Amino acid sequence: MKAPKNTDHKRAEAENWILRLYVAGQTKKSLIALANLKRICEQKLENKYRIEVVDLLENPKLAAGDQILAIPTLVRKMPTPVKKIIGDLSNEERVLVGLDLKPVS
C-alpha cells in the first residue's frame, strides 16, 4: 500500500476500519467532506478507524489505483469489500448506507 498521509493516529489494535479520502487540493468541498467524515466516524466508529487523506494534486498517480474520477471520493479499504462513496458526505444517511453502518445503528 502506498503511503498516504495519516491524519488521525489511533491505536493500531483498534484499526479494523481503514477509510481513504481522495481530494484535490484544499477545496471547499474537500474540507467539508473531511469534516463530515471525521464527525461520522467519531459518532459511529469511535476509535476503531483510521482516515487517510490522499491529495491527488500532489500524487496524481494514485488516482488510477482506486479508479478515482469524482472528487471527493471516500474509499472503504477495510473491512472488505471495497466501497466507494462520492460527494462531500453531507448526506449522512447515505454515507451510513454506503459504509454499511446503517443496520448497526
Partner 1 sequence: MNKKTTNSRTTESIPKTLSGIQGLDEITHGGLPTGRPTLICGSAGCGKTLLAMEFLMRGATQYGEPGVFMAFEENEQDLILNMRSLGFDLKKLIAQKKILLDYIHIDRQEIEETGEYDLEGLFIRLDYAIKSIGAKRVVLDTIEALFAGLPNEMILRAELRRLFRWLKDRGMTAIITGESGDKTLTRHGLEEYVADCVMTLDHRVQNQMSTRRLRVVKYRGTVHGTNEYPFLIGEAGISVLPVTSLGLNHEASVQRISSGIPKLDEMLAGKGYYRGSSVLVSGSPGVGKSSIAAHFIDAACRRGERCQLFAYEESSDQIMRNMRSIGIDLAPWIEKGLLQIHAVRPTLCGIESHLVSMHHKIGAFKPSVVVVDPISSLSITQDEAELKPTLMRLIDFLKMQKITALFTSLVSGGMNLEDSQVGVSSLMDTWLLLRNAETNGERNRTFYVLKSRGTAHSNQIREFVITNKGVDLQEIYLGADKTLTGSARATQEANEALAEQRLQREHQRRLQQLDRKRTTIAAQIIALEAEMKSDEEEMKSFAMQEELRQKTLSNERRTMSRLRGQ
Interacting residue ranges for partner 1, rule: CB under 8 A: 22, 24, 29, 32-33, 56-57, 60-61, 63-64, 67-74, 82-91, 94-95, 97-98
Contact residues for 100 (Cβ-Cβ < 8 A; gap 6+): 76, 83
Find, among 7, 46, 11, 9, the residue nearest to 23 by Cα. Answer: 7
Query: Smallest gap, in angstroms, from Cβ of residue 68 to partner 1?
Result: 4
Report yes or no: 16 and 68 within 8 Å, Cβ to Cβ: no
Closest separation between CB of residue 6 and partner 1, Å?
21
Reported as half-sphere exposure (CB side, CA atoms, 13 A), residue 39 has a value of 12
Q: Which is nearer to partner 1, 8 or 24 (CB)?
A: 24
Provide, rounded to whole angstroms, the least separation between the CB of residue 9 and partner 1. 25
Nearer to partner 1, 50 or 73 (CB): 73
- 52's grid cell: 487517510
